[in-house]
Structure 1
Amino acid sequence: MNDDHERKRTRWKVQWGVPARAAGGTARAAALSGDERREIARKAARARWARHLPRATHEGVIQFGDIEIEVAVLDDGQRLVTQSGFMVGLGRIRPPKGRQYYRAGANLPAFLTVQNLRPYIDENLVGAASQIEFRTKQGVKAFGYAANFLSEVCELFTRAHHAGVLKDTQRNIANRAQTIAEQLQRSGSTHLIDEATGFQEHHEKNA
């Protein structure tokens, strides 16, 4: 019934001289299903909401040997590691299966919540674990972590490795974490992010 009503309105607009562009838009809207209209409305709402997020002004990739981790500097000065860069860099994309999880209310990635890592999760790591929502330079909504979260996670795996509690499936993460930690100790996360994104050069020019 509603679709029929919209079609009649479109014919009326064309008949009485409503601009063709507006009439065509109404016709296209009338041809959409209810689900399609709702999806368009959801996307519009997300776009409006995302405009209020901090935006990346500089983006880049840090090379840790053969490991690449995407990073960014936001317009409010925050340096961060992107969520996807963090997960891929440490060799984790999917959460582990068939494990018991550490329930402590912390917003930790799933691969850190397994029971054998529980003794090594401290306040510093939990404090750095909050996700940061932002827009990429292209305007796409994304998530990231504070720069120091990466070093905290590397420290966790170093301690767990020395304690001999890691499972076989976690050793690859520990090896990657060691490679990352060695470079972070030499240069520091802020310096590496500024260098990888070109923000350091931008900052020096402005200074």
Structure 2
Amino acid sequence: MINRFDVAVLQNDLRIISSASVFEALDRPNRGSRGGAITENEELIKLPAFMDANNLKPFINQYVIDVIKGVKYRTKDGKIKEGYDATILPVVCDILSTST
């Protein structure tokens, strides 16, 4: 079965995948964050729920931080959604496979 993910291309050509689709792609329950965060350059970075496990934190570098920051965007029908840079999927998959 092929899943259809909710995606968009913004005016700046950034490809976005919705938050719900990221959880679906990773086969994770869509839940709120447990408050996981890391500090990078004296800035507190809130981690999405699929990245907030303590065993994943050592693998989070600046590139990962840039990719896992949420993006709010407006859909064609005017709804505001939250998603992520679509390059998040291979990045998170690499981290998940490395951390186990």
TM-score, L = length of structure 1: 0.41
Partner of 2:96: 157
Partner of 1:141: 80
1:77 deviates by: 1.7
Please give the secondary structure, in 1, of the residue aligned with 2:72.
strand
1:157 deviates by: 0.6
Given that 1:70 and 1:82 are in contact with CA atoms closer than 8 Å, whether structure 2 keeps it comes out as: yes
Structure with greater proportional helix content: 1
Structure with greater proportional strand content: 2
Partner of 1:74: 10
* Residue of 17, 22, 38 corresponding to 1:86: 22
Please give the secondary structure, in 2, of the residue aligned with 1:111.
helix
* Structure 2 unaligned residues grouped into runs of 5+: none
* RMSD (Å), alpha carbons: 2.3
Count of aligned positions: 95
Relative contact order, CA 8 A, sep 6+: which one is greater? 2
Query: Which residue type is aligned with residue 138 of structure 1?
Result: D
Instruction: Spell out the pairing of 1:118-137 with structure 2 (5 A cutoff).
Output: 118-137=57-76
Query: Which residue type is aligned with residue 135 of structure 1?
Result: R
1:95 deviates by: 4.1
Please list every run of at least 4 consecutive aligned residues from structure 1 whose deviation after the TM superposition is greater than 6 angstroms: none
* Structure 1 unaligned residues grouped into runs of 5+: 1-64, 162-207
User: Are 2:51 and 1:112 aligned?
Assistant: yes
Which has more radius of gyration?
1
Partner of 1:55: none
Identity %: 27
1:107 deviates by: 3.3
1:111 deviates by: 3.0
